[in-house]
Amino acid sequence: MVVMGFIWKAASILTLGGVSSHSRRAPQHRAARAREKAAKAQAGLAEAETRVAEEQAAAIGKALQEDEEHGQADLEEVAEKEAEALPWARPADS
C-alpha cells in the first residue's frame, strides 16, 4: 500500500510537473487581478485628468470673461475722460 501510494505520488509529480492544478491557476489569477487593478487605476487617472481639464477650461473662461469686462470698463472710462476733455464733444445743454 505504501509503495503503491509512493508510485502514484511520483507519477503525479512527473506528469504534473510537481505542481498541483490549484497552484498553477494562482499565478494566472494574480495576473488577472493585477490587470484588473491596473485597468481601474488607469480609468481613475483618465477621469481625474478629464476633471482637471474641465476645471482648467472653466478657470480660463472665467479669467477671459473678467478680462473682457475690465477692458470694456477701461474703454468706457477713457471715452468719458476724452469727452470731458473735448469741449465740442460735450452735449449742448451743459
pTM passes above 0.75 = no
- Residue 15, pLDDT above cutoff 70: no
Q: How many Å separate Cα 64 from the centre of its chain?
A: 24
CB 29 within 8 A of CB 21: no
Instruction: Please state the rounded mean pLDDT for residues 51-71.
Output: 96
Confidence of residue 82 (pLDDT cuts 50, 70, 90): confident
pLDDT of residue 24: 62
- Residue 64, pLDDT above cutoff 90: yes
Closest CA to 28 of 43, 44, 11, 19: 19
Taking all residues of the chain, what is their mean pLDDT, rounded to a whole number?
82
As a whole number of angstroms, the distance between CA 3 and CA 9 comes to 10
| Higher per-residue confidence, 48 vs 90 | 48
As a whole number of angstroms, the distance between CA 15 and CA 29 comes to 22
| Higher per-residue confidence, 20 vs 46 | 46
